[in-house]
Chain A
């Protein structure tokens, strides 16, 4: 384990307008862990991710990623957004989405053969190489999720951030995704945001509960049952939008 935590928040406050979204958040995540971020919708989970990526700036407090300010560290982060946020009509193939992971600011022109090789390797690793020529929009939820994970892997990131990977995919796909995440965790530190507490791997050492304030629980201290009690109201909301099938 490295001495410097991979992510460190020190008394971070954030608000979009006047209403505070995150209050006095302090946390440290060591290298190699698989960390869950859970909490109700609107509780600040995505904000926490965006602060880590440097897309948002804290009002007060300090954030460091790999011991650096987030804007400097973010090229070492593999970010996997929710696949639902993409325009389903956009003309782009799965391969081109993966290739996007090789983009670099300040460089001109198109992709090199090395970029293409890297994209192929990532797609093969995730067993989606046969989907390369298919339009992104025609892929199933699970396949799109894998495409976005492949995209993040092309830049050899040290840290993976997954935003709600289990929303709108079926139970079987969810199990396969969980296996994949456990496998990726052998090489990468992983932070996984979910509003679904059922989606828990036994490899998880830490659960971060976000609801304006943040509490970090080692999994030894917390059981699914206690979390379920804390977020009981939300769990019901979650169940209601879990029914979309994935083909």
Chain B
């Protein structure tokens, strides 16, 4: 009795969801789903580098500092009619600048790297919030911080496709070098690799990935979707490329499941996706510990 009722509810949910997906009046949902599916590729591949090289904190610094770029672009758009300077351009600029600042300092090794990352993180957010405060009109920082699938447009979908092509092509070409730099930087240098180039390339790709994917889960939460799927994948993978494949699949499952639940229960999509990813990570990590 209870079981059949439960099954009907699930089927109802699913059919609702698929009707909505094809409904021309709900194109935002379609874009959100397509964007979610496509972004899993970049998330899984770049996230695996982030987790393997243990630079989650650095990726977090880059993602938070992006708010400065978004705030600055809105400030210019509204106050100085600079319509061309869209938030996405501002975000890309801010992401690249902070990636290069952090990368340069980390390569020079003169300062404490974590302190610098923390400073870039907080300064970026502070600057962004001040720009937003000085921008007339109602702007809700929440949608940038935690994502809003209503904001995803066809243009975003194309940008995400471009990012996927870029990250996968570059990873494919430079895989042995990027892996060597992540695993053993010093040895890579002795072997004559341009370690600085590969490290900055990696940080640039992280910045671009984070920027284009904040629409899905937002500045604050993006770091979780970048690191949780590879962290789960890392429990099973023997090789870096396996970690990437598993992470892409995991990310895809979390995003689809999260969007489906958020649609049916009227929950914000970003936090729902992250809660699912986090819960599954904890369950898998604990059960492995339990059974081993």
Residues of A within 8 A of B (CB): 53, 55, 74-75, 77, 79, 81, 86-87, 89-93, 96-97, 99-101, 103-106, 108-111, 133, 135, 151, 155
Contacts and interface: CB of A to CB of B under 8 A. Distances in A.
A109 B173 contact: yes
A202 to B, nearest CB: 31
A149 B184 CA distance: 15
Contacts of A89: 52, 234
A92 B237 CA distance: 9
A92 B186 contact: no
A55 B184 contact: no
A32 B120 CA distance: 51
B234 A104 contact: no
A103 B176 contact: yes
Given A93-B238, A103-B191, A104-B192, A55 B186 contact: yes
Contacts of B188: 103
B190 interface: yes
Given A87-B183, A103-B193, A105-B193, 8 more contacts: A55-B189, A87-B52, A93-B239, A100-B183, A100-B187, A103-B192, A108-B173, A110-B176
A75 B184 contact: no
B176 A92 contact: no
Task: Identify the interface centre among A103, A106, A110, A135: most chain B CB within 10 Å of its CB.
Answer: A103
A141 B82 CA distance: 61
A81 B186 contact: yes
A106 to B, nearest CB: 7
A65 to B, nearest CB: 12
- Those 7 A-B pairs whose CB atoms lie nearest each other, nearest first: A105-B192, A103-B191, A91-B237, A91-B243, A105-B193, A135-B238, A74-B190
Interface of B: 52, 54, 173, 175-177, 179-180, 182-184, 186-194, 234, 237-240, 242-243
Does more than half of chain A's interface fall in helix, strand or loop, or is it mixed? loop
Contact of A100 (B52, B54, B180, B242): B180
B192 A75 contact: yes
B190 A77 contact: yes
Contacts of B182: 90
A160 to B, nearest CB: 13
Contact of A103 (B177, B242, B243): B177
A90 B52 contact: yes
Contact of A87 (B54, B175, B237, B243): B54
B16 to A, nearest CB: 40
Nearest to A87: B54
5 contacts: A77-B190, A81-B184, A89-B52, A103-B192, A105-B193
A96 B186 CA distance: 17
Given A103-B176, A111-B176, A92 B190 contact: no
B192 A91 contact: no
Contact of A91 (B191, B194, B242): B242
Nearest to B191: A103
B191 A75 contact: yes
A93 B190 CA distance: 21
A133 B184 CA distance: 19
B52 A91 contact: yes
A60 B90 CA distance: 47
Nearest to B182: A90
Contacts of B176: 99-100, 103, 110-111
A79 B183 contact: no
A105 B194 CA distance: 7
A110 B177 CA distance: 9
Contacts of B183: 86-87, 90, 92, 97, 100
A17 to B, nearest CB: 10
A89 B189 CA distance: 22
A75 B193 CA distance: 11
A92 B192 contact: no
B184 A100 contact: yes
A151 B229 CA distance: 31
B240 A79 contact: no
A92 B179 contact: yes
A133 B238 contact: yes
A161 to B, nearest CB: 10
Contacts of A105: 191-194
Contacts of B193: 103, 105
A45 to B, nearest CB: 16
Contacts of B189: 55
B227 to A, nearest CB: 13
Nearest to B177: A103
Contacts of B175: 110
Contacts of A77: 190
A65 B71 CA distance: 54
Among B179, B182, B234, B238, the most chain A Cβ lie within 10 Å of the Cβ of B238
